[in-house]
Amino acid sequence: MEDQRLSNKDANEKKTMNTHLHILEAYTALYRIFPDELLAKHIAELLRNFHDHIINQQTGHLHLFFDEQWQVKGNNVSYGHDIEASWLLQEAAENIGDPVLTEQYRKLALVITNAALHGGIDKDGGLWYEYETSRRHMNTEKHWWPQAEALVGFINAWQLQPHGRYLQHAQNTWNFITQHIIDKTNGEWFWGVYKDYSIIPEDKAGLWKCPYHNARACMEGVKRLQ
Protein backbone atom coordinates (compact mmCIF):
# COMPACT_ATOMS: atom_id res chain seq x y z
CA MET A 1 0.00 0.00 0.00
CA GLU A 2 1.26 3.47 -0.83
CA ASP A 3 -0.49 5.02 2.16
CA GLN A 4 0.03 2.96 5.34
CA ARG A 5 -1.19 5.53 7.84
CA LEU A 6 -3.73 4.65 10.50
CA SER A 7 -5.11 8.18 10.24
CA ASN A 8 -4.38 11.52 8.61
CA LYS A 9 -2.62 12.59 11.82
CA ASP A 10 0.17 10.08 11.20
CA ALA A 11 3.23 10.31 8.98
CA ASN A 12 3.28 7.74 6.19
CA GLU A 13 6.19 5.74 7.56
CA LYS A 14 6.60 2.01 8.12
CA LYS A 15 7.82 2.19 11.72
CA THR A 16 6.08 4.14 14.45
CA MET A 17 6.64 4.61 18.14
CA ASN A 18 2.96 3.98 18.84
CA THR A 19 2.93 0.57 17.19
CA HIS A 20 5.98 -0.56 19.14
CA LEU A 21 4.60 0.78 22.42
CA HIS A 22 1.31 -1.07 22.17
CA ILE A 23 2.89 -4.30 20.95
CA LEU A 24 5.14 -4.07 24.01
CA GLU A 25 2.11 -3.50 26.22
CA ALA A 26 0.34 -6.54 24.78
CA TYR A 27 3.43 -8.74 25.13
CA THR A 28 3.80 -7.63 28.76
CA ALA A 29 0.19 -8.50 29.54
CA LEU A 30 0.63 -11.89 27.88
CA TYR A 31 3.85 -12.55 29.81
CA ARG A 32 2.04 -12.17 33.13
CA ILE A 33 -0.02 -15.28 32.41
CA PHE A 34 2.40 -16.98 30.00
CA PRO A 35 5.98 -16.41 31.25
CA ASP A 36 7.61 -17.83 28.15
CA GLU A 37 11.36 -17.44 27.60
CA LEU A 38 11.04 -16.48 23.94
CA LEU A 39 8.37 -13.90 24.80
CA ALA A 40 10.68 -12.36 27.41
CA LYS A 41 13.42 -12.18 24.78
CA HIS A 42 11.16 -10.24 22.41
CA ILE A 43 10.11 -7.85 25.19
CA ALA A 44 13.76 -7.18 25.97
CA GLU A 45 14.45 -6.57 22.26
CA LEU A 46 11.61 -4.06 22.09
CA LEU A 47 12.94 -2.27 25.17
CA ARG A 48 16.39 -2.06 23.61
CA ASN A 49 14.85 -0.63 20.43
CA PHE A 50 13.14 2.04 22.50
CA HIS A 51 16.43 2.95 24.14
CA ASP A 52 18.50 2.88 20.96
CA HIS A 53 16.07 4.40 18.45
CA ILE A 54 12.86 5.82 19.90
CA ILE A 55 13.77 7.76 23.04
CA ASN A 56 15.57 11.00 22.31
CA GLN A 57 18.46 10.76 24.74
CA GLN A 58 19.02 14.55 24.66
CA THR A 59 15.46 15.71 25.35
CA GLY A 60 13.74 12.71 26.97
CA HIS A 61 10.88 12.91 24.45
CA LEU A 62 9.95 10.06 22.14
CA HIS A 63 10.52 10.19 18.40
CA LEU A 64 7.28 9.26 16.63
CA PHE A 65 8.01 8.06 13.07
CA PHE A 66 10.88 6.27 11.34
CA ASP A 67 11.86 4.76 8.02
CA GLU A 68 12.96 1.14 7.68
CA GLN A 69 16.50 1.99 8.82
CA TRP A 70 15.27 3.76 11.98
CA GLN A 71 15.98 7.22 10.58
CA VAL A 72 13.76 9.70 12.42
CA LYS A 73 11.05 11.32 10.30
CA GLY A 74 9.71 14.53 11.83
CA ASN A 75 10.26 15.93 15.28
CA ASN A 76 6.84 16.66 16.77
CA VAL A 77 6.41 16.12 20.51
CA SER A 78 3.45 14.07 21.75
CA TYR A 79 3.19 14.72 25.48
CA GLY A 80 0.57 12.03 26.00
CA HIS A 81 2.76 9.36 24.41
CA ASP A 82 5.74 10.51 26.44
CA ILE A 83 3.98 10.13 29.78
CA GLU A 84 2.29 6.89 28.70
CA ALA A 85 5.61 5.34 27.69
CA SER A 86 7.26 6.41 30.94
CA TRP A 87 5.38 3.81 32.98
CA LEU A 88 4.62 1.17 30.32
CA LEU A 89 8.31 0.72 29.47
CA GLN A 90 9.23 0.42 33.14
CA GLU A 91 6.41 -2.06 33.70
CA ALA A 92 7.63 -4.25 30.82
CA ALA A 93 11.19 -4.37 32.19
CA GLU A 94 9.99 -5.19 35.70
CA ASN A 95 7.66 -7.94 34.50
CA ILE A 96 10.36 -9.92 32.72
CA GLY A 97 12.61 -9.53 35.77
CA ASP A 98 15.62 -8.19 33.88
CA PRO A 99 17.65 -6.29 36.53
CA VAL A 100 19.66 -4.23 34.03
CA LEU A 101 16.63 -3.16 31.98
CA THR A 102 14.59 -2.56 35.14
CA GLU A 103 17.20 -0.20 36.57
CA GLN A 104 17.58 1.52 33.20
CA TYR A 105 13.86 2.09 32.72
CA ARG A 106 13.19 3.19 36.28
CA LYS A 107 15.67 6.00 35.64
CA LEU A 108 14.25 6.69 32.18
CA ALA A 109 10.71 6.82 33.59
CA LEU A 110 11.66 9.94 35.54
CA VAL A 111 13.56 11.42 32.60
CA ILE A 112 10.57 10.96 30.26
CA THR A 113 8.09 12.20 32.87
CA ASN A 114 10.13 15.35 33.39
CA ALA A 115 10.32 15.86 29.62
CA ALA A 116 6.52 15.73 29.42
CA LEU A 117 6.26 18.18 32.30
CA HIS A 118 8.60 20.63 30.63
CA GLY A 119 6.30 22.65 28.43
CA GLY A 120 3.56 20.03 28.27
CA ILE A 121 1.53 20.75 31.37
CA ASP A 122 -0.84 23.68 31.71
CA LYS A 123 -1.32 25.57 34.97
CA ASP A 124 -4.78 23.98 35.30
CA GLY A 125 -3.24 20.48 35.47
CA GLY A 126 -4.22 19.47 31.95
CA LEU A 127 -1.72 18.05 29.47
CA TRP A 128 -1.45 19.72 26.05
CA TYR A 129 -1.95 17.48 23.03
CA GLU A 130 1.14 18.05 20.89
CA TYR A 131 3.90 20.49 19.99
CA GLU A 132 4.68 20.88 16.28
CA THR A 133 8.37 21.70 16.37
CA SER A 134 8.77 22.74 12.73
CA ARG A 135 6.05 25.40 13.08
CA ARG A 136 6.74 26.14 16.75
CA HIS A 137 3.05 25.60 17.32
CA MET A 138 1.40 24.17 20.42
CA ASN A 139 -1.81 22.25 19.86
CA THR A 140 -3.67 23.43 22.96
CA GLU A 141 -6.44 20.84 22.79
CA LYS A 142 -6.58 18.58 25.84
CA HIS A 143 -7.76 15.14 24.80
CA TRP A 144 -9.03 12.53 27.22
CA TRP A 145 -6.24 9.97 26.79
CA PRO A 146 -3.20 12.18 27.61
CA GLN A 147 -4.94 13.15 30.86
CA ALA A 148 -5.49 9.49 31.74
CA GLU A 149 -1.87 8.63 30.99
CA ALA A 150 -0.60 11.67 32.90
CA LEU A 151 -2.49 10.50 35.97
CA VAL A 152 -0.72 7.13 35.94
CA GLY A 153 2.63 8.55 34.88
CA PHE A 154 2.76 11.09 37.72
CA ILE A 155 1.70 8.51 40.30
CA ASN A 156 4.37 6.16 38.97
CA ALA A 157 7.02 8.90 39.20
CA TRP A 158 5.95 9.62 42.77
CA GLN A 159 6.30 5.92 43.62
CA LEU A 160 9.83 5.92 42.18
CA GLN A 161 10.83 9.18 43.83
CA PRO A 162 8.49 10.17 46.67
CA HIS A 163 8.74 13.84 45.82
CA GLY A 164 5.74 16.00 46.60
CA ARG A 165 5.63 17.63 43.19
CA TYR A 166 4.83 14.39 41.35
CA LEU A 167 1.94 13.61 43.68
CA GLN A 168 0.73 17.20 43.34
CA HIS A 169 0.82 16.92 39.54
CA ALA A 170 -1.24 13.73 39.78
CA GLN A 171 -3.76 15.55 41.98
CA ASN A 172 -3.87 18.51 39.60
CA THR A 173 -4.46 16.21 36.63
CA TRP A 174 -7.25 14.40 38.46
CA ASN A 175 -8.84 17.75 39.35
CA PHE A 176 -8.72 18.75 35.68
CA ILE A 177 -10.26 15.42 34.63
CA THR A 178 -13.11 15.70 37.12
CA GLN A 179 -13.82 19.32 36.24
CA HIS A 180 -13.61 19.17 32.45
CA ILE A 181 -13.31 15.64 31.01
CA ILE A 182 -15.74 13.37 32.89
CA ASP A 183 -19.31 13.64 31.63
CA LYS A 184 -21.20 13.80 34.92
CA THR A 185 -24.59 13.72 33.18
CA ASN A 186 -24.30 10.81 30.76
CA GLY A 187 -21.19 9.01 31.98
CA GLU A 188 -17.87 8.20 30.28
CA TRP A 189 -15.31 10.87 29.36
CA PHE A 190 -15.59 13.54 26.71
CA TRP A 191 -13.10 13.42 23.83
CA GLY A 192 -11.53 16.54 25.30
CA VAL A 193 -11.73 20.30 25.54
CA TYR A 194 -10.39 23.26 23.62
CA LYS A 195 -8.27 25.94 25.27
CA ASP A 196 -11.41 27.80 26.33
CA TYR A 197 -12.75 24.57 27.95
CA SER A 198 -15.53 24.10 25.41
CA ILE A 199 -16.15 20.44 24.59
CA ILE A 200 -14.52 18.98 21.48
CA PRO A 201 -17.48 17.58 19.47
CA GLU A 202 -16.07 14.12 18.77
CA ASP A 203 -17.33 10.60 19.53
CA LYS A 204 -17.77 9.40 23.09
CA ALA A 205 -17.04 5.94 21.71
CA GLY A 206 -16.04 4.86 18.24
CA LEU A 207 -13.09 3.76 16.11
CA TRP A 208 -10.66 5.97 18.03
CA LYS A 209 -12.18 6.10 21.51
CA CYS A 210 -13.34 3.48 23.96
CA PRO A 211 -13.00 2.89 27.74
CA TYR A 212 -9.34 1.98 27.33
CA HIS A 213 -6.99 4.73 28.51
CA ASN A 214 -9.39 6.07 31.13
CA ALA A 215 -10.51 2.70 32.54
CA ARG A 216 -6.90 1.51 32.68
CA ALA A 217 -5.85 4.73 34.43
CA CYS A 218 -8.53 4.33 37.08
CA MET A 219 -7.61 0.69 37.72
CA GLU A 220 -3.90 1.57 37.87
CA GLY A 221 -4.67 4.41 40.26
CA VAL A 222 -6.65 2.15 42.61
CA LYS A 223 -3.91 -0.51 42.54
CA ARG A 224 -1.04 1.93 43.08
CA LEU A 225 -2.66 4.12 45.76
CA GLN A 226 -4.10 1.40 47.98
Over residues 138-160, the pLDDT tens digits come to 999 999 999 999 999 999 999 99
Whether the pLDDT of residue 8 is over 80: the answer is no
DSSP-derived secondary structure letter, 55: B
Note the residue count of the chain.
226
Instruction: Read off the pLDDT band of 1 (50, 70, 90).
Output: confident
- Which phi-psi region, left, alpha or beta, contains residue 97 (left: φ > 0; alpha: ψ -120 to 50)? left
> What domains appear along the chain, each with residue ranges and CATH number?
15-225 (1.50.10.10)
pLDDT at 13 over 90: no
Q: Give residue 168's pLDDT.
A: 96
Span 124-136, pLDDT tens digits: 999 999 999 988 9
Q: Contacts by 20-26 with C-beta closer than 8 Å and gap 24+? A: 20/46, 20/49, 20/50, 20/54, 21/81, 21/84, 21/85, 21/88, 21/89, 24/50, 24/88, 24/89, 24/92, 25/88, 25/92
Say what the pTM is: 0.95
Q: List all residues 6 or more positions away from 169 whose beta carbon is below 8 Å from its beta carbon.
A: 117, 121, 125, 150, 154
